[in-house]
Structure 1
């Protein structure tokens, strides 16, 4: 029995060697559900359990392989893993050392896309309120893309036709593969650092999801969002959206479309200028005609209320009043003259002189008319007025007292 005795270390080492020397266990594919997933921030290693309804196995994925995962493993996610079986000698744990992992039923890229999209949207990177307008007349148009790609040729063709007065500034970038994301980020940041343009096109020509994946990388999306220069994304696919499309200020389906969105058309500008000139001319003429008509009305109104005309009207009114007053006064004088003649005739008819002329006389005493004999006494001197003159007499006696 002593000949078969092993230490724990020897046992674990022996079992480990058996597992690792078995070719069937050096590349196995296992399907199961992820549980207890943990990624160590310091080491970058991933630890989790893969399970089905009846069993479970511990798994480890080292940083060297985990860094290439397109998605983030989550508890409850069904996956297909590839790896090798071995034993962790220290505690005798049977483990599956995972070298690759794919989500079951959906591609890793599609899952990674949805996961990152949800997370960045929750952070507000796709908020419409953050988007800025594209300048109408940019002096400099920037492009972050490959100098050798078809996208740049398309952009140059469009701009040379539509907007030859604009200046094109290009930042050469890798747009496919592992180096693409950091290269694109560097191009965006350099354009911003130098303030090299007024609007920035970021993109490439068409391709598969794998080819275009750099524009779904978190670093690229954040660089687009953080750009101080308005960004037009142009990741050559008309139907699908890259994540940087959501973060950009404007999304174009193709690089050619992006060039059109970034530039005004000179031909259109000429047509607009002609239309504006015509409208301005018509507006000016209409304005002058309206003002001329208004001026005529004001002149007419002024002529009705001008001081000269008002003074003339007042002068005429005064003249009419004077004439009316004179006419009225003359009529009044004529009426008064007629009344005067009438009253004079009436008075004349009652005049003592008229009475005397008819054979009567007037007797006065001391200048007063004698109306009664009792007013005179014998010896008084009285005056008698006749038609032909006056007689002075002395009263000898009153009636009834005359001596015989």
Structure 2
């Protein structure tokens, strides 16, 4: 039960019209006779395939498992009945065996269990797809009763004949109504009426077209008079002259504006060149760098330091031999300023 072998959702539906019914039981017991008698009476076109098995005693479980496997190897077995006739619980015990239960569960063919009488219940009944109270009941579940289907076919045939007769009667009445209709009794008159309607429609169409053409002609005439009245050619020439004047004025103003911008740009370029440090360097000045930094005071280096002197046309590397500070001059200037 914990493995789900008893679960209802794994149960399979039995085939409705089986062609081959497999049976696993004793070939000499009453169960096989009851099954064969019931199937031949209810559905004689079904073929019965027996896989003999020992259904009682110590050898029964292995025999039943082997018979189920043999039946699964047979082609086209639609349903399988596994069981035996009634007996004591000891006689039925083979169907409580775990191997038998697992063989039924793994069968590829839907299985009907038919063990003992109605009150007898075994583990095989819980594992099988369908449980039958007796072998006879299993045969009744395995195949339909052909007389019931013959009766159903007869009833369907009666309904079909009744439906066909009703349809034929309805169509016959419809044909009669059509034959008695005005169109069928005087077809020439209907054609004459249709021809008259066509002539009237053609006449209305010609009148409508003529009226439409007249309205369009009048509209085009009015438009032509308006165009002549407005003297479009003279207006176009005047507009062209105005456009030429405007274009000349625009070109003149754009040229003046461009000259102003050029002069302002040249003045700014001259200012930038005057302020450029390159211009200053061209007058003999140079820039001194130590450790990639611009030197602004003698405090930034000491004797022995390497410096780079940047000139207008290149650079040179030098070493500081001596540092001269102008502190005395500055301090003397400060003292003179104090005495004054």
- State the TM-score, normalized to the length of structure 1: 0.44
Matched residues in 2 for 1:265 and 1:198: separation? 17
Relative to structure 1, is the Cα distance of residues 318 and 246 closer, same or farther in structure 2, using a 3 angstrom cutoff?
closer
Equivalent pair of 1:215/1:242 in contact (CA under 8 Å): yes
Relative to structure 1, is the Cα distance of residues 318 and 271 closer, same or farther in structure 2, using a 3 angstrom cutoff?
closer
Equivalent pair of 1:134/1:230 in contact (CA under 8 Å): yes
Report the counterpart of residue 156 of structure 2 in structure 1.
Answer: 276
Query: Which 5+ residue runs of structure 2 have no aligned equivalent?
Result: 201-340
1:377-396 matches, cutoff 5 A: none
Report the counterpart of residue 186 of structure 1 in structure 2.
Answer: 66
Matched residues in 2 for 1:297 and 1:250: separation? 60
Relative to structure 1, is the Cα distance of residues 216 and 291 closer, same or farther in structure 2, using a 3 angstrom cutoff?
farther
Structure 2 residue matching 1:282: 3-state secondary structure:
helix
Q: CA deviation at 1:127?
A: 2.3
Residue by residue over 1:244-270, the C-alpha shift from the partner in whole angstroms, topping out at 9 and shown as x without a partner, is: 222222111100111111122232232
Relative to structure 1, is the Cα distance of residues 314 and 270 closer, same or farther in structure 2, using a 3 angstrom cutoff?
closer
Relative to structure 1, is the Cα distance of residues 307 and 136 closer, same or farther in structure 2, using a 3 angstrom cutoff?
same
Q: Aligned to 1:233, which of 108, 113, 117?
A: 113
**Does 2:102 correspond to 1:218?**
no
Relative to structure 1, is the Cα distance of residues 199 and 316 closer, same or farther in structure 2, using a 3 angstrom cutoff?
same
Matched residues in 2 for 1:309 and 1:208: separation? 96
Q: CA deviation at 1:141?
A: 1.0
Higher strand share: 1
Equivalent pair of 2:96/2:124 in contact (CA under 8 Å): yes
Relative to structure 1, is the Cα distance of residues 298 and 224 closer, same or farther in structure 2, using a 3 angstrom cutoff?
farther
Structure 2 residue matching 1:206: 3-state secondary structure:
coil
Residue by residue over 1:66-107, the C-alpha shift from the partner in whole angstroms, topping out at 9 and shown as x without a partner, is: xxxxxxxxxxxxxxxxxxxxxxxxxxxxxxxxxxxxxxxxxx
> Which structure has the larger Rg?
1
Report the counterpart of residue 21 of structure 2 in structure 1.
Answer: 141
Q: CA deviation at 1:311?
A: 4.3
Relative to structure 1, is the Cα distance of residues 184 and 319 closer, same or farther in structure 2, using a 3 angstrom cutoff?
closer
CA RMSD after TM alignment: 3.1
Relative to structure 1, is the Cα distance of residues 318 and 286 closer, same or farther in structure 2, using a 3 angstrom cutoff?
closer
Deviates more, 1:294-303 or 1:181-190: 294-303
Query: Which 5+ residue runs of structure 1 have no aligned equivalent?
Result: 1-120, 321-404
Of structures 1 and 2, the one scoring higher in RCO (CA 8 A, sep 6+) is 2
Equivalent pair of 1:144/1:187 in contact (CA under 8 Å): yes
Q: CA deviation at 1:200?
A: 0.7
**Does 2:86 correspond to 1:206?**
yes
Relative to structure 1, is the Cα distance of residues 221 and 287 closer, same or farther in structure 2, using a 3 angstrom cutoff?
farther
Matched residues in 2 for 1:188 and 1:239: separation? 24
- State the TM-score, normalized to the length of structure 2: 0.52
Matched residues in 1 for 2:126 and 2:34: separation? 23
Q: CA deviation at 1:309?
A: 6.0
Structure 2 residue matching 1:201: 3-state secondary structure:
strand
